[in-house]
Structures are given as C-alpha cells and as structure tokens.
Structure 1
Amino acid sequence: MKAALADPRLSRDPAFALPAWHATDRGRPIEDDADLGAHLLTREGDVHWRLRKLVFPAFTARKAQGMRSRVQEIADSLIDDFQSRGHADLIDEFAYPLATMVICEVLGVPVEHYAIFRQWTSNARPDAAAGPDPAGYLCELIAARRAAPSHDVVGVLVAAEAAGEISEAELRSMIFLLLIAGHEGSVALIANGVLALLADGVQRALLRERRCPMESAIEEIVRYDGPMELAAWRFAKEPVEVGGVVIPAGSPVVLALAAAHRDPRRFRDPDQFDITRTGNAHLGFGYGAHHCLGAPLARVEGAVALATLFSRLPDLALSTSVEELERQPSTLVRGLFELNVVFTPRTSR
C-alpha cells in the first residue's frame, strides 16, 4: 500500500483520466475555471510543491501544538452549552463546530461563518437547507481580503495570486480545499473515536486511569476506524503493475486504507481496538507527497476533544444502539451524520 501511495505513476491529477471519467459526476475537466479542483491534491511535482509550500508554515507540528490551548477553550465552551441537559448530538454540538471553528481561525476565515460550510461536505444531510454557493462565497471572501490584506493563510494566498505566484482558480481552489479538508476529517476522527471508546470499556478505563496517553489512543483510532476509509482517486499515467495486476493507463485507482489497516501481516490482532498498540505505523493520513497537510492539527484536535469529553462527562453513553447510527454515504470519509449521547447533567465544570 505504501508503495502504491508513493508511486508517481499513480497520479492524483485527473488530467490523466480516460475521457469517460470526465463524463461522470465524479470528475470534471480541470481546465474549467469555475471548478474548485485546482489545488495541491490534484497537482503533482513542481506544481504540487509550489502550492504546498505557500500554506505549509501554517500547518507544522509546532503550529498545531500552539493551537492546543485555543482548541481546549473551544472544546470547553461547547460542552458548557449542553452539559446541563444531560444529552447532546456530538456531531452537531461538538465535533463539527470545534473542527470548523479551529480551521476558520487558522485560515483567517470569519469564525461566525462556520455553520455554512457543512453543506459543502459529505456530512451534509440530503434534506438540509442549501448553504451559499461555494464559488460565490469564496469570491466575496477573496474580495474582502484584497480590500483588507492580512498575514493569515487566506491573506498569504491572496497576496500570492496578486504577485502572480498562483492563478485565480488555484486561489479559490486552495481556500476551498483547506476549509473542507481542514475540518471534515477531524469531525470524523472525533466522532469515530468517541464511538470506539464507548464500545470498549477496557480501553476507556485505560484512558481514565491514565495508563495510556491520549496521543497513543488517537493513533489507534485512526488505524482502527479512521476518518479516511479510502485514499482519494488516482489515475494510472501509464500501465502499472500492482500486486501482480496490470492497471491500464488512464484507469482510476482506489486504495483502501481501511483494508490495509486490518492486514494481519502488518498488525497483530488487527480487528482488535487496542490503544496500547506499539509500532502503529498506520497510513490514515496518507503517505508520500500527498501526506495529509493537516495531520498535526487533526491529532491535536482529536486528543483535546476526546480527553475533554471523557473527563468532563465520565458517564458518557450512547442514547441509541450502534446499529441505529447512520454512516455518511461518502466513499472516502468514514463518518457519522449524528452521534446522540446521554450523561449525568452538570451545571458547572
């Protein structure tokens, strides 16, 4: 799997796809200026690194650790809002607002707009009211930043476009990517982590008794039920042999990360959720040039969110059976539409 993820012949650029791909709703020509796909995840080589270098400084491990206290403030504030009720939907009331507010602050997007971005993701319910058109919203955001320059991520990208370092399509696409990818995976990581811990009292006790660091638990959650079930589409630039099978040029390729994480040749008792697992070299954040830019921030968000939930609401429990939980239909992100829980009401921290 690592070899396939890093193989330059398997490109993320849909320009290498067969014409039939572009005729489906899965892909559109990247030359279309109205498209929001001209970002670093669909670019390779020098173009990819040109785009990645512009935003990488905002997503280093040091920057992520610097956000920890702010993530903690947001997590505590959100729990304050529902802890007196004794019940909550941890998607709507915790995981989604936490992850979205954090990425808004990192990017320099107005935090009060966080509620509108969900309609652009796989977590949006089919019957939900439509939010503003992404392209229109981004044009307004960019215009506002041009009028009032800043040093945040959006400001850096707007300045790069003004200097001719990126195109206008790349500017819109990069902001869109960072907004969506910057929160969607974290929402699923938090929710899947809560679910895994609620289903296993032994593992939950290990955390409660501090016999295992939360950082280790996060790595196991990403392996066991991570937010990315599949890696994003790739396209064979030429005939490529993988596992004894020749993939024709132009064919789309899907790499199943979740399957790799259950490989008994790599992981001892792979179907067992074990937060004390050592040597947990999972691929949940990808591998190679397209390794997840936001992995350090997602780890901090997950660790703070779960530690805060289980310390402040120690008797947290599902209010429905696991079978009743509705998974998102996305083939990439493995998340939940809602996660209803109950706990003893509390009036203060």
Structure 2
Amino acid sequence: MSTDRQTVVIEGYKTIRTLLTDARLSSAPPDGQAGFGGRHMLNTDPPDHTRLRKLAQKAFTARQVAALRPRIQQITDALIAGICPQGKADLIGDVAFPLATTVICELLGVPATGRTTFSDWFTAALTPAEAPDADVIVGRALKTLNDYIQTLIDTKRGSGEDTGGDLLTALIHARDGDDALSEEELVATVFLLLGAGHETTVNLIGNAMLALLANPDEYRFLRDRPDLLPSAVEEFLRLDGPVQHATPRIALEDINIDGMTIPAGSRVILKIAAANRDPEIFAEPHRLILDRTGPTHLAFGHGIHHCLGAPLGRLEARIAINTMLTRLPDLQLTGPTVGLHWKPGDFLRGLTTLPVRFTPM
C-alpha cells in the first residue's frame, strides 16, 4: 500500500475485497468531470447505478448466457476450421478477437458491417496518458465511437421496429416507470457493453492460452481432463486476468483501514492483479494450478460493480480453449514468450498477437 497527496494505491486482497463494497468509495467522477465513455453503470453510484444495471442485466443471467452456448460453439468451430489446414495461426486475430466481437455484436444487435473497426477505436481510446498526443488521440477516438453508437441507435429507431430480440432494441425501448435510459445514458451503456464485451474476453482467452502454452505439463493435463475447464478458467483469471485494476474510486470521506487513513478526496486505485497473487491468500501465487481450490479471485470485481458479463466471458473462454485444445494437434508457440507484445497501458492486460503452430488437419 502506498500513498501520496492525491492517490492511494492498494494491493492486498483482503483490503481490496473490503473496499470494493465500501459505499464511502465513489465510482462517479469528481464534480464537473465526465466519466470515460459517458454516464454508464461502471462510473455511477446507487441509485443511478442500480437503475442502469437493472436495464441490461437480464441479457446476462446464467440462463440467458447458457442459451448462447450452441451459437458460441458454432462461431468457434467455424474460426478453427478456417485455420486447421494452415498449421499456423495468430490465436488473437484468428480466434479470440473475431469470436468475442461476433458474440457481443450479435447479442447487442450490431450489424456485421463495421464490427471489426470499432475495436481499433476502443484501442485508441485507451491510449496511455504518457503517450505522445494522447489527449488528441483519445478525444478523437471517443468522439468517433460516440458518433458510431449514435448512428446505430438512430438506424435501429428508423427501422420502425418496436420490438426485437437484441439487447440494443431492448435498451432503446426500455420502459420501467421513471427508470428509462436517457439518450446520454443509452449511448454510454452501449459504449460500455461493446468495449467491455469484447476487449476483456479477447484478453482472457489470449492470456489463458499463453499460460497453457508456456506450461506444457498443465497444457497436457487440461487437454486430458476437459472436466477441469471451469476451474481452469478461474485460475487463468486469477493468474493473469484481463483487467489490472478496478476503475478509480474517489474517497467521499476519511476511511480508516489497515492501520492507515485514506484521506477524503483521494483517488483510490485497487490493484486487482496484485490482489489475485497475494501470497497471504493464494499458495504459490505465481504458479498455474488448474485444479486450484480455495478463495475466489477478484478478476471480475466484487460487490455492486461485479462484472455484468462474467457468465458470458467464462462461457466463451471455456468453449474457445476446449476447442483449440481438441482440434489443433501439437499446438505450441512459434517463438519465445519474451518476444510477445502486450497492449499498452496499465488498465487492461492483453496480447496484441499470439502466434502458434500446430499439425495441419
């Protein structure tokens, strides 16, 4: 745990888990500042957070997500079939990215045209502050995304359809007393679902496959024991999850915890990745143990901001990993892990590419 006059950074599992449920930490940006992507459930507090989350959560229940299994498997099978004869592939560009993008776009009702383009805009919007011209790049990307999403909404409205099976239509027509979304909230919610719905899943699948390929014994263990996939995915999330820290919080008042005081007004960074490797909680925290039992990780957060899409991300990862293990014989990295490139920034963690080779089929 370290502090300065403006920021408090916390890494311990127990402290972070406690603070993730502490109402004295606000997820809303300070007065006069706009939240990243607008006003959505990730950067609001109750009661607004409760209202915004309620309108989207029905699409992400365990039952609704389970119903997507056949379609997710179909998409995955088609992607794998496309690379099987080649004997080599980029597991990010050829599998993880198109899978995650297709699933979230179909769920939302985003047309096929332009699906791959919006990911580049999200990447630009996450440009690290220290990068040259970061403010200009981020501002341009956010405006482009906002315009793209507004056009999607206007097109959906203009179609004359009053009902639809996709989430975007449901959000547009959401009516629950005074709980309906404002136009700003609608755009921001779609922004969040599109961004979080593909970026984190791509990173989860890529990081998981890297962990397996870098640990051949565990790779063979999971290949021979597909029944361990549920616990394996939880271990991938713990060991090298797609999100490094929670979205920043603001202390609404002085908070005494762990023998120190978080001053009111401080910006608080909760380091999820560090918490998931806390040696006081996890035995051999830096080791991949696919049948690990014990405390749950914090990769999807905890409390009211627990990731809405967690069930969907888990399912996509299980299906993608299992299909690659069973249909890509002798799968291995084409080079050393030190030669791999990671996306810039300290918020999300994911590879830009994951080149592999295997026996053509």
Considering the TM-score relative to the shorter chain, is it more than 0.5? yes
- Aligned position for 1:19: none
Report 1:168-179 matches (<5 A). Answer: 168-179=183-194
- Aligned position for 1:159: 173
Sort the Cα spacing of 1:123 and 1:263 in 2 relative to 1 into closer, same or farther, 3 A.
Answer: farther
Structure 2: where are the runs of 5+ without partners?
Answer: 1-15, 128-136
- Aligned position for 1:14: 29
- Aligned position for 1:141: 152
- Aligned position for 2:134: none
Task: Answer whether contact 1:9 1:240 (CA < 8 A) is retained.
Answer: yes
CA distance in 2, matches of 1:208, 1:233: 38
CA distance in 2, matches of 1:306, 1:51: 32
CA distance in 2, matches of 1:344, 1:300: 26
Task: Answer whether contact 2:253 2:263 (CA < 8 A) is retained.
Answer: yes
Task: Answer whether contact 1:36 1:169 (CA < 8 A) is retained.
Answer: no
What secondary structure sits across from 1:114 in the alignment? Answer: coil
Report the alpha carbon displacement of residue 285 of structure 1 after superposing the two structures with TM.
0.5
CA distance in 2, matches of 1:29, 1:141: 22
Q: 1:241 aligned to 2:256?
A: yes
Q: What's the C-alpha RMSD, in Å, of the aligned pairs?
A: 2.3
What secondary structure sits across from 1:254 in the alignment? Answer: strand
Task: Answer whether contact 1:90 1:341 (CA < 8 A) is retained.
Answer: yes
What is the aligned-residue identity percentage?
A: 43
Q: 2:360 aligns with which of 335, 345, 348?
A: 345
Report the alpha carbon displacement of residue 280 of structure 1 after superposing the two structures with TM.
4.4
Sort the Cα spacing of 1:45 and 1:162 in 2 relative to 1 into closer, same or farther, 3 A.
Answer: closer
Sort the Cα spacing of 1:161 and 1:167 in 2 relative to 1 into closer, same or farther, 3 A.
Answer: farther
CA distance in 2, matches of 1:188, 1:242: 33
Report the alpha carbon displacement of residue 156 of structure 1 after superposing the two structures with TM.
1.5
Sort the Cα spacing of 1:163 and 1:320 in 2 relative to 1 into closer, same or farther, 3 A.
Answer: farther
Q: 1:261 aligned to 2:276?
A: yes
Q: 1:185 aligned to 2:200?
A: yes
Amino acid at match of 2:45: E
Report the alpha carbon displacement of residue 123 of structure 1 after superposing the two structures with TM.
8.0
For structure 1, which segment, 95-104 or 278-287, has the greater mean C-alpha deviation from structure 2 after superposition? 278-287
What secondary structure sits across from 1:69 in the alignment? Answer: helix
What secondary structure sits across from 1:213 in the alignment? Answer: helix
Report the alpha carbon displacement of residue 10 of structure 1 after superposing the two structures with TM.
1.0
CA distance in 2, matches of 1:147, 1:163: 24
Report 1:294-313 matches (<5 A). Answer: 294-313=309-328
Report 1:1-349 matches (<5 A). Answer: 1-15=16-30, 28-30=33-35, 36-122=37-123, 133-148=144-159, 149=161, 150-151=163-164, 152-160=166-174, 165-210=180-225, 212-346=227-361
Report the alpha carbon displacement of residue 231 of structure 1 after superposing the two structures with TM.
1.1
Task: Answer whether contact 1:257 1:283 (CA < 8 A) is retained.
Answer: yes
Task: Answer whether contact 1:161 1:171 (CA < 8 A) is retained.
Answer: no
CA distance in 1, matches of 2:259, 2:112: 49
CA distance in 2, matches of 1:183, 1:270: 27
Paired residues in the alignment total: 331
CA distance in 2, matches of 1:40, 1:95: 26
Sort the Cα spacing of 1:55 and 1:215 in 2 relative to 1 into closer, same or farther, 3 A.
Answer: same
CA distance in 2, matches of 1:190, 1:330: 19
Structure 2 length-normalised TM? 0.86
Report the alpha carbon displacement of residue 242 of structure 1 after superposing the two structures with TM.
3.2
Task: Answer whether contact 1:5 1:287 (CA < 8 A) is retained.
Answer: yes
Amino acid at match of 1:246: T
Sort the Cα spacing of 1:103 and 1:199 in 2 relative to 1 into closer, same or farther, 3 A.
Answer: same
What secondary structure sits across from 2:81 in the alignment? Answer: helix
Sort the Cα spacing of 1:271 and 1:263 in 2 relative to 1 into closer, same or farther, 3 A.
Answer: same
What secondary structure sits across from 1:246 in the alignment? Answer: strand
Report the alpha carbon displacement of residue 125 of structure 1 after superposing the two structures with TM.
10
Task: Answer whether contact 1:186 1:301 (CA < 8 A) is retained.
Answer: yes
Amino acid at match of 1:9: R
Structure 1 length-normalised TM? 0.89
CA distance in 2, matches of 1:331, 1:290: 20
Task: Answer whether contact 1:216 1:276 (CA < 8 A) is retained.
Answer: yes
What secondary structure sits across from 2:343 in the alignment? Answer: coil
Report the alpha carbon displacement of residue 314 of structure 1 after superposing the two structures with TM.
2.5
Sort the Cα spacing of 1:188 and 1:168 in 2 relative to 1 into closer, same or farther, 3 A.
Answer: same
CA distance in 2, matches of 1:67, 1:279: 29
Amino acid at match of 1:172: V
Amino acid at match of 2:157: R
